[in-house]
Chain A
């Protein structure tokens, strides 16, 4: 066994690593001078990282105007703000749609509202990695007010037909919140054309920021009530929270180093080109799947993903053991278990969970080759020799 094999990091769907050097430098720079918060600081030497990040995101996602891009701690925080804010002040009892593909960041806030009898919830099943548009149409009732779903599955790497789903729900006057945590930075997203009311992103995955940043784009600020109040550095004489964007949803001190990193990460993606990122990911993912498919006792759950994710199990082995062996014997960091998406796993593997390999722009072809070799080696050994010493 290698004592300290070099790390092959394939847990990028959780958090990307490594980060571009520009991101690390941005964090350093952001802390090298006093922070400059627009409206809060009179100094002029530091960068206004908040505005830089907002404009960078607005540009990458075609999210107009930039002030409608709101910063939060992460995607889960964004989804909680949007879901809680959507129902704040509304009468209890309306109907909400979500899907089995969704992450607990969507499911848990909605299940909690259902438990409080504030909503009725329908969780739509999926086929081939997506929810069928006709099943959405069929599930809509006269009191359906909201649909919340993911753009890209963090287990299957599938990308849902958001334009079609948005069209259906909007035809029925239903609001549409999309969780883009897995998609942003991996595939082109154009919010100018996408029929969504709110789009959630996280900073530390495909956008190459650091953990502790995320946010959302909100088309109509009045559609969501703020559920947090506090200092904004603006209109401070008023004891009421500002209604203007983005202050409506941003109170308290921002995560300046985090937003500096996010701006740098987004600019890195923009200069690289999302299309180039997607193309490389597609090629490497197809290679991994092709290699793993050759082993009879490997079950792959997503043979043609749109995101760089490969989910599999080795027959006769617990996924957690496979992850342990990959890490300890080969230095390969994967993710095992349920990936915070229990309903996906209930559908694909009976809820046992699986091993997930997830790539990033920085994953090399050699790392893919070594990983495929390692997984196949484990599978061959599982086949032949699991027994007492």
Chain B
């Protein structure tokens, strides 16, 4: 799955920076299940085709409806420069079926170290 472009930007009151991304394919329940390997996923499956929200604490959150090609991402502003590439990698690495998570997990660990250092100094 690829991010085609971002269409809206906004600085939010909760200290996040929101970007709305247009994707080349609709998101699915499977996509959010895959994201669950990297953070918390919540779902309201009975609303529309299913509302999903992924949260990777201190990094970003992603929300959207299954079947929709638009998702809203909220980056924690202080570390957005560190995490944005990982977000793109999360999307581009996803495909139907089994996804090899090993590269993503290594990258997550490396970025996570820098995020912690930046936010908490350790």
Interface residues of A (CB under 8 A from B): 1-2, 320-321, 324-325, 328-329, 337-338, 342, 353, 377-378, 381-382, 385-389
Residues of A within 8 A of B65 (CB): 1, 328-329
Alpha-carbon gap, A342 to B53, bound state (A): 26
Least Cβ–Cβ distance between B30 and chain A, in angstroms: 9
Residues of A within 8 A of B108 (CB): none
List the A residue with the shortest CB-CB distance to B16.
A320
Instruction: Give a binary string over B28-63; 1 marks a CB under 8 Å from any A CB, 0 the rest.
Output: 010011001000111111111111110000000001
List the A residue with the shortest CB-CB distance to B52.
A389
List the A residue with the shortest CB-CB distance to B30.
A389
Q: A1-B66, A385-B43, A385-B44 are in contact. List 17 more A-B contacts (CB 8 A).
A: A1-B49, A1-B65, A1-B68, A321-B51, A324-B51, A324-B72, A328-B51, A329-B51, A342-B13, A378-B47, A381-B44, A381-B46, A386-B44, A388-B43, A389-B32, A389-B33, A389-B50
Does A387 lie within 8 Å of B42, measured CB to CB? yes
List the B residue with the shortest CB-CB distance to A386.
B42
Interface flag for B67 (CB, 8 Å): yes
Kindly name the residue among A320, A353, A378, A386 whose own CB sees the greatest number of chain B CB atoms within 10 A: A320
- 18 A-B residue pairings within 8 Å (CB atoms): A1-B65, A2-B48, A320-B12, A321-B51, A321-B53, A328-B51, A328-B65, A329-B47, A342-B13, A353-B13, A378-B44, A385-B46, A386-B42, A387-B43, A389-B32, A389-B43, A389-B45, A389-B52
Does B46 lie within 8 Å of A389, measured CB to CB? no
Alpha-carbon gap, A386 to B42, bound state (A): 6
Residue in B29, B33, B48, B52 whose CB lies within 8 Å of A329: B48
List the B residue with the shortest CB-CB distance to A328.
B65
Does A389 lie within 8 Å of B51, measured CB to CB? no
Alpha-carbon gap, A2 to B65, bound state (A): 11
Does A1 lie within 8 Å of B44, measured CB to CB? no
B: number of interface residues (CB 8 Å)? 28
Alpha-carbon gap, A382 to B53, bound state (A): 13
Does A389 lie within 8 Å of B44, measured CB to CB? no
Residue in B29, B40, B51, B67 whose CB lies within 8 Å of A325: B51
List the B residue with the shortest CB-CB distance to A353.
B13
Residues of B within 8 A of A329 (CB): 47-48, 51, 65
Does A325 lie within 8 Å of B41, measured CB to CB? no
Residues of B within 8 A of A385 (CB): 43-46
Least Cβ–Cβ distance between A389 and chain B, in angstroms: 4
Least Cβ–Cβ distance between B24 and chain A, in angstroms: 17
List the A residue with the shortest CB-CB distance to B66.
A1
Does A389 lie within 8 Å of B29, measured CB to CB? yes
Does B41 lie within 8 Å of A389, measured CB to CB? yes
Does B48 lie within 8 Å of A1, measured CB to CB? yes
Residues of B within 8 A of A353 (CB): 13
Least Cβ–Cβ distance between B77 and chain A, in angstroms: 16
Alpha-carbon gap, A320 to B16, bound state (A): 12
Does A1 lie within 8 Å of B43, measured CB to CB? no
Residues of A within 8 A of B44 (CB): 325, 378, 381-382, 385-386
Contact A388 to B42, CB < 8 A, known contacts A1-B67, A321-B63, A353-B13: yes
Instruction: Give a binary string over B64-82; 1 marks a CB under 8 Å from any A CB, 0 the rest.
Output: 1111101010000000000
Least Cβ–Cβ distance between A14 and chain B, in angstroms: 14
Least Cβ–Cβ distance between B41 and chain A, in angstroms: 6
Least Cβ–Cβ distance between B96 and chain A, in angstroms: 16
Alpha-carbon gap, A2 to B49, bound state (A): 9
Contact A328 to B52, CB < 8 A, known contacts A387-B43, A388-B36, A388-B43: no
Alpha-carbon gap, A378 to B65, bound state (A): 14
List the A residue with the shortest CB-CB distance to B42.
A386
Residues of B within 8 A of A321 (CB): 51, 53, 63
